[in-house]
């Protein structure tokens, strides 16, 4: 079964008198454990599609099957629950809470989700994630006391805290220098390979997209291409 199946997805924004069609019939599937880059020029609809995939918004028409359930008509409450249970987000601007320690930023989503773990267990699990992203010695630092790359690592740890199946990263390296970008991409590749995490990386930069095994390109709200690249060791068995 595919983790994601989209059928004829359309999204139109209504701005007063004007209709702005942004997605014009997208059909695609993404299997569990894939590492996919979603690329295309600025304004081609990447973030709109990511917001739909991340259950932050719903399509104007079409079907969205997530993990075997059709959710295009789900209520905002149901979508919030799906997000919590299934999806982690990483953004260009890190979106960390200021004046809050890195560790508390990572723990935060757990305090909003339904699970049977104690506060102590939450802390151990979040500490473990901080160590896995290489920030075991930065737990008590506030975002302003961390570099951009370190802040994005915290954001990745936070995105993983609810054990999502799907990680959506919208331009995650957009504010980072090239060396730090490379480190963040390697981290995402590692999570994909070792944990089987499904990763969808949104980027307008072909050099960044080249880190994914599969590259989907949008043009004017339509799929312009969908190709598997060889010689990128980002997912699946040896080729
Ligand atoms: P990308 O991420 O590929 O740059 P977006 O999905 O952000 O593209 O935007 C696609 C088009 O939709 C743009 O023309 C943008 O101005 C418009 N758009 C995006 N979000 C909204 C919104 N919430 N309301 C109205 N128009 C929007
Ligand atoms: Mg965008």
Which residues in the chain show pLDDT less than 50?
Answer: 234, 236-239
Name the percent of the chain in helix, strand, coil, to the closest 5. 35, 30, 35
Spatial CB neighbours of 84, under 8 Å, sequence gap ≥ 6: 109, 112, 113, 114, 162
Ligand 1 atom showing the smallest separation from residue 50 Cα? 6
Closest listed residue to residue 201, CA positions, set 77, 42, 10, 35? 35
Residue 19 CB less than 6 A away from ligand 1: no
Task: Please say whether the beta carbons of 130 and 106 come within 8 A.
Answer: yes
* Ligand 1 atom closest to the CA of 221, numbered from 1: 10
Range of the domain at 132: 2-228
Is 236 among the domain residues? no
Helices (H), the chain: 46-53, 76-86, 102-112, 119-132, 148-160, 178-195, 206-209
pLDDT value for 59? 97
Give domain status of residue 234, yes or no: no
Instruction: Tell how far the Cα of 44 is from the centroid of ligand 1, in angstroms.
Output: 8
Q: Determine whether the shortest distance from the Cβ of 13 to ligand 1 is under 6 A.
A: yes
Identify the residue whose C-alpha is closest to ligand 1 atom 15. 43
Residue 136 lies in a domain: yes
According to the model, what pLDDT value does residue 178 have?
A: 95
Ligand 1 atom nearest to 218, measured from its CA: 3
| Whole-number pLDDT of residue 116 | 82
Q: What is the DSSP secondary structure assignment for residue 144, as one 8-state letter?
A: G
Residue 237 forms part of a structural domain: no
DSSP class of 214: E
CATH number of the domain residue 57 falls in: 3.40.50.300
Residue 180, burial from CB neighbour count under 10 angstroms (0-12, 13-18, 19+): middle
| Cβ 48 under 6 angstroms from ligand 1 | yes
pTM confidence score? 0.93
Q: Is residue 192 domain-resident?
A: yes
Q: How far is the CA of 49 from the centre of ligand 2 (A)?
A: 9
On whether residue 147 sits in a domain, the answer given is: yes
Looking only at the bridges linking them, the beta strands covering 2-15 and 18-31 are: antiparallel
Cα maximum dimension of the chain: 54
Residue 22 near ligand 1, beta carbon < 6 Å:
yes
pLDDT tens digit sequence for 52-70: 999 999 999 999 999 999 9
Q: What's the pLDDT score for residue 161?
A: 96
| pLDDT at residue 232, as a whole number | 59
Residue 113 lies in a domain: yes
Domain count, the chain: 1
Q: Does residue 224 fall inside a structural domain?
A: yes
Is residue 168 within 8 A of residue 90, CB to CB? The reply is yes
């Amino acid at each position: 079964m595919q983790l994601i199946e989209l059928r004829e997805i359309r999204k139109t924004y209504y701005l007063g008198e004007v209709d702005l069609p942004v997605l014009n019939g997208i059909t695609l599937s993404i299997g569990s454990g894939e590492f996919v880059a979603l690329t295309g020029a600025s304004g081609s609809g990447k973030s709109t599609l990511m917001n739909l995939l991340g259950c932050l918004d719903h399509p104007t028409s079409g079907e969205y099957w997530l993990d075997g359930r059709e959710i295009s008509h789900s209520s905002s409450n149901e979508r919030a629950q799906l997000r919590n249970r299934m999806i982690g987000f990483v953004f260009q601007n890190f979106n960390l809470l200021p004046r809050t320690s890195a560790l508390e930023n990572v723990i935060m989503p757990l305090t909003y989700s339904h699970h049977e773990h104690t506060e102590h267990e939450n802390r151990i699990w979040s500490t473990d994630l901080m160590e896995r992203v290489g920030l075991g010695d930065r737990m008590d630092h506030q975002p302003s006391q961390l570099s951009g790359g370190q802040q994005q690592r915290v954001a990745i740890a936070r995105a993983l805290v609810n054990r999502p199946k799907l990680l959506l990263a919208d331009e995650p390296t957009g504010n980072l220098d090239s060396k730090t970008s490379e480190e963040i991409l390697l981290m995402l590749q590692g999570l994909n390979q070792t944990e089987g995490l499904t990763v969808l990386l949104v980027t307008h930069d072909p050099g960044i997209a080249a880190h994914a095994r599969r590259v989907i390109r949008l043009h004017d709200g339509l799929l312009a291409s969908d190709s598997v690249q060889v010689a990128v060791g980002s997912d699946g068995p040896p080729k």
